[in-house]
Amino acid sequence: MFDTAAEELGFALDDAQLRAAAALATGARNLYLWGPVGRGKSWLMATYFAALPTDRKMRMHFHEFFRDLHLAIRRHGNDLAAALDELLGGLDLVCFDEFHVHDPADGKFIARLLPALLDRKIRVILTSNYPPRSLLPNPMFHDDFVPAIELIEQALTIIAIDGPVDYRTISSHEAGFAAGWWVSPGTAEQQARLGLRPPSPDERRTLAPAGHPVHVRRATNQCLWVDFVDLCENTTAPVDYLALTQQFRTWVVSDVPNLRASGREPAQRFANVVDVLYDRDITSIFLSTTPLDALSDGTELPVDIERITSRLGQLGRLELAAGAVDPKRDSPHPRSRVG
């Protein structure tokens, strides 16, 4: 199934992908698929998941599962086993995309979760940008997480998917996230070329998708227009972005600054936004004060900046500083107005 699916997309599986495909097809063990950005980890998982002839399966972004699990634990009076029964009862397979551990508090919870999850008679498949030994890299807390790492290494087959090609760099840019744009500096002329109509002041609204208030400039016709300051400088979280993607399939994020100037926490929230928009395949247009190549200059950057810049690299570019549209894309033409 993997060879056929790859052929339909116009590429052949590399050696690392072939190893992972063989391990997925056997169905014998839990798997931990890790490697650099763009090497096909999520595609391999999605292809396997779609082909499996059963309804007793679940695939989720790990952030999303974390959200649902915390809510279920509250409903069950802090009973983790009961919460897992609610979420995973009756399943034979769970797949989690983008598994990572950066936050010490998350690390403590995951160390508690893993034994309970792996004791269940469910096949577990994780994708990650990190080998197990690189999880929770902060030296102040890493040693405390080593027992959890050792459990991962014992209970899951670790497979590196580290081939030479970043497939995101050869995307066709026809739909979803990759059909979006990075626009700098976001002039009225540039917005008009993309068919964007700036929101009027009376279109401002305050949404509460998952508890946190999010001030937006427009929220209509499946389109969300929001400023960076409202989305990333205020207290928001991946659960808010996930909830918003359920209603809005096109996003415009305006006034995106150089991440160095924004500060560490807003930069990390922006990274989380990009992850969610990419994973949910949301058509995304970023109006930025800086060209994409300069976005990550500096030191106050998110931990996963390489993954974020790889994902943003799929976007078409309309940048006055560069003097031309990104050669990967045709010249932009007016689209239907957004909003």
CATH number at residue 211: 3.40.50
* Residue where the block lists tokens 């990075």: 182
Dist CA 232 CA 256 (whole Å) = 10
Give, to the nearest 10 degrees, the angle between helix 264-279 and helix 238-245: 30
Of 121-125, 201-205, 226-230, 316-320, minimum mean pLDDT range: 316-320
- Among 92, 125, 160, the domain-final residue is 160
* Mean pLDDT of the residues in the chain: 86
C-alpha radius of gyration, the chain, whole number: 21
Q: Looking at the domain assignment, is residue 147 inside a domain? A: yes
Residue 298: the pLDDT is 61
- The pLDDT tens digits of the residues spanning 288-338 come to 999 998 887 665 566 667 778 888 988 999 988 544 444 444 445 444 445
Which CATH number belongs to the domain containing residue 9 in this structure?
Answer: 3.40.50.300
Boundaries of domain holding 228 = 171-325
Q: Looking at the domain assignment, is residue 330 inside a domain? A: no
Q: Do residues 71 and 192 share a domain?
A: no
- Residue 270 reports pLDDT greater than 50: yes
Q: Do residues 152 and 250 share a domain?
A: no
Q: Looking at the domain assignment, is residue 6 inside a domain? A: yes
Query: What's the total number of domains in the chain?
Result: 2
- The pLDDT tens digits of the residues spanning 37-86 come to 778 898 899 899 988 999 999 998 887 788 789 889 999 999 999 999 99
Residue 266: C-alpha distances to residues 240, 245, 260, 327 (Å):
15, 20, 10, 31
Q: Do residues 139 and 178 share a domain?
A: no
Q: Looking at the domain assignment, is residue 335 inside a domain? A: no
- Among 101, 133, 160, the domain-final residue is 160
Q: Do residues 177 and 314 share a domain?
A: yes
pTM above 0.75, yes or no: no
Q: Looking at the domain assignment, is residue 334 inside a domain? A: no
Q: Looking at the domain assignment, is residue 33 inside a domain? A: yes
Q: Do residues 150 and 180 share a domain?
A: no
Q: Do residues 83 and 218 share a domain?
A: no
Q: Do residues 28 and 156 share a domain?
A: yes
Residue 322: the pLDDT is 45
- Among 139, 160, 181, the domain-final residue is 160
* Residue where the block lists tokens 């033409």: 333
Q: Do residues 154 and 184 share a domain?
A: no
Q: Do residues 190 and 148 share a domain?
A: no
Q: Do residues 194 and 120 share a domain?
A: no
